[in-house]
Chains A and B, each alone.
Chain A
């Protein structure tokens, strides 16, 4: 069952279509990745989902009904552009933002203190936010996102500007929330990360939806048929094999392309059966990044590998 549905959203700024007829479905209990490069329209889409922007046309449905304030109350949103009142105290800040979500009283305060304890901020509960380190401010920001026990968690580029420790912390929280059955929606330009964390993907480019579906479906659709091998022996017999589409020999290494993805295993068997000593057999699994390049027809994607490494 899908809990959240985005239907034909369109948003135009100064004649530029920032989001152009985007539709997707977010299934229950999924970790959903909204991916695309910077400026593709991810944040605009999320802002329309959050009812921060009104769409020019299209709608967002929560369990079949138009999403409004009731949706806002159920969401924990960590915007890409995030900040806090510097002069407010930590606990005061947490309680204020929980109050805006309609959660007040002792139980929230208790929960806030528990989170502070867990994030090693318990002793700073009465410090002003401006006196906290940047990393600790980020922790407070996470707590705000999840303190009111939301059913949906929307994280817009959650890892930009996070230090490695907080990146791990956030990852831990995401996994934990996933186990609790919450719907988690990410927007990110980090394809590697999306590939590792998400089970559903929607890719947008220049405001348009270019790919949509579960990660396993997408992967099988774009499954790789390229194999590179290092070996000792003669592999010329492969040229006449019907399952081989293409083979390029470089002496004791070859690059082979099979006709169907499932033929990769057969290829390995044939090699062994023909007494070839295989020293390396690598199936080049296609990455989300490559799929994206193939679809968007542009390899200028800003993927900073150092950024990904920490994830």
Chain B
């Protein structure tokens, strides 16, 4: 299977892929997109929070107005002058009479909103907000805790409590996660590993899709452009398929290594210091496992993509015929991203050792919880076994398929190809 001819095919595949503009572009672009989209989100949030708003805060008592006003004064947007807030106090009846007069300003945008805080809020914490856009979560999130602490301060001020006690009452509960593992130390867990888990899931998914589609198109192209028979006059179909898959696998793993390079640098050197909440607790050998497990999985998947490519003789038919394989990539992806909620759910545990699924799910899971060695071993073993079972079948269909042309074959016919003596 491996010989000089296979090597020639591998070399050609590498030349064609690694040196192609689209490969270099995607290799650089994916991290840019990932971090860019995070950055863009920040920019958008920032942009929004800096936008101007003018609010009227009406309280039923002057004490309330003063308490809320002193809390609001802490908002950076108020300090910047981007938020213009006017305070007044009046009884609910008067406010209801005034509301129709405010309507015009609210509708033409002179006023962003009117906040009415009745005295009853000191008992039930219920307040009213009047606006063209009353569901502005961004605004609520900024004011909610401020109003809460204003109400708490006021509520407890008559009860002669110390400031310490009041500030305690105003606090929410803060979970600190500690990961118990076989390690000597019990380490505090930040969200760093959750980010890495998501990163693995996303990158593995993207890479399987990119490499797989690339493989499929390349097989369809050889078939469609009638190159395949010229090739087969020199090599046999096994050598051709092996060469193509090995070439594309090398490309895929190299690309993955480039994508993981920032992570590898962060965990292997002390030059990069991450904020405490973002510390990443995974080892280099785990990254090596990800790459190795990915390589086995990639070879299996590429075999399947190549087979589907060989069945069809144009891109459109191949795209519509690829869905069973796509499901094998997408379902593990969804399991992978939901794993963050509870890495020890049964589906996650099973999927992390299932054929095909383990390629994506195991790396995501292992960054979140400690996994016994036998589970790693089982995942690798299952992947290798899948590869060994799938390959001869895929090779057979490939061999028959690449020389078939004409009408689109039915799946039943493809199954029959397995029995052909070719």
Say yes or no: A52-B233 contact (C-beta < 8 A), given A87-B16, A96-B8, A100-B8.
yes
Task: Determine if A82 and B234 form an interchain contact, defined as CB atoms under 8 angstroms apart.
Answer: no
Task: Determine if A83 and B8 form an interchain contact, defined as CB atoms under 8 angstroms apart.
Answer: no
Task: Determine if B227 and A52 form an interchain contact, defined as CB atoms under 8 angstroms apart.
Answer: no
Cβ-neighbour of A79 out of B9, B233, B235, B422 (below 8 A): B233
- Bitwise, A72-116 to B at CB < 8 A (1) or not (0) is 110101010111111110000000110111100000000000000
**Does B75 count as interface, using CB distance less than 8 angstroms?**
no
Cβ-neighbour of B421 out of A56, A87, A99, A144 (below 8 A): A56
Task: Determine if B16 and A52 form an interchain contact, defined as CB atoms under 8 angstroms apart.
Answer: no
Task: Determine if A83 and B225 form an interchain contact, defined as CB atoms under 8 angstroms apart.
Answer: yes
Q: CB-CB < 8 A to B405: which residues of A?
A: 81
| Total number of B residues with any Cβ neighbor in A under 8 Å | 21
Task: Determine if A85 and B4 form an interchain contact, defined as CB atoms under 8 angstroms apart.
Answer: no
Q: CB-CB < 8 A to A54: which residues of B?
A: 421-422
Docked complex Cα distance between A53 and B233 (Å): 11
**How large, as a class, is the contact surface on chain A?**
20 to 34
**Does B231 count as interface, using CB distance less than 8 angstroms?**
yes
Q: CB-CB < 8 A to A143: which residues of B?
A: none
Q: CB-CB < 8 A to A79: which residues of B?
A: 226, 229-230, 233
Q: CB-CB < 8 A to A56: which residues of B?
A: 421
Task: Determine if B8 and A99 form an interchain contact, defined as CB atoms under 8 angstroms apart.
Answer: yes
Task: Determine if B226 and A83 form an interchain contact, defined as CB atoms under 8 angstroms apart.
Answer: yes
Say yes or no: A100-B231 contact (C-beta < 8 A), given A52-B403, A83-B226.
yes
**Does B210 count as interface, using CB distance less than 8 angstroms?**
no
Q: CB-CB < 8 A to A87: which residues of B?
A: 16
**Does A136 count as interface, using CB distance less than 8 angstroms?**
no
| Cβ-closest chain B residue relative to A87 | B16
B235 → A minimal CB distance (Å):
6
**Does A51 count as interface, using CB distance less than 8 angstroms?**
yes
Docked complex Cα distance between A56 and B421 (Å): 7
Q: CB-CB < 8 A to A96: which residues of B?
A: 8, 12
Docked complex Cα distance between A47 and B399 (Å): 13
- Bitwise, B213-255 to A at CB < 8 A (1) or not (0) is 0000000000001110111111110000000000000000000
State which residues 1-53 of B face A: CB under 8 Å: 4-5, 8-9, 12, 16
Could you tell me which A residues sit within 8 Å of B by CB distance?
47, 50-54, 56, 69, 72-73, 75, 77, 79, 81-88, 96-97, 99-102, 141, 144
A–B Cβ pairs within 8 angstroms, 20 of them? A47-B403, A50-B233, A52-B232, A53-B403, A72-B234, A79-B230, A81-B226, A83-B230, A84-B225, A86-B225, A87-B16, A88-B16, A96-B12, A97-B230, A99-B8, A100-B8, A100-B9, A100-B234, A102-B5, A141-B230
The 3 closest A-B pairs by CB, nearest first: A83-B226, A77-B233, A100-B234
Beyond the given A51-B236, A100-B234, could you list 4 further A-B residue pairs with CB under 8 A, ordered by the A residue number?
A52-B233, A54-B421, A84-B230, A86-B225
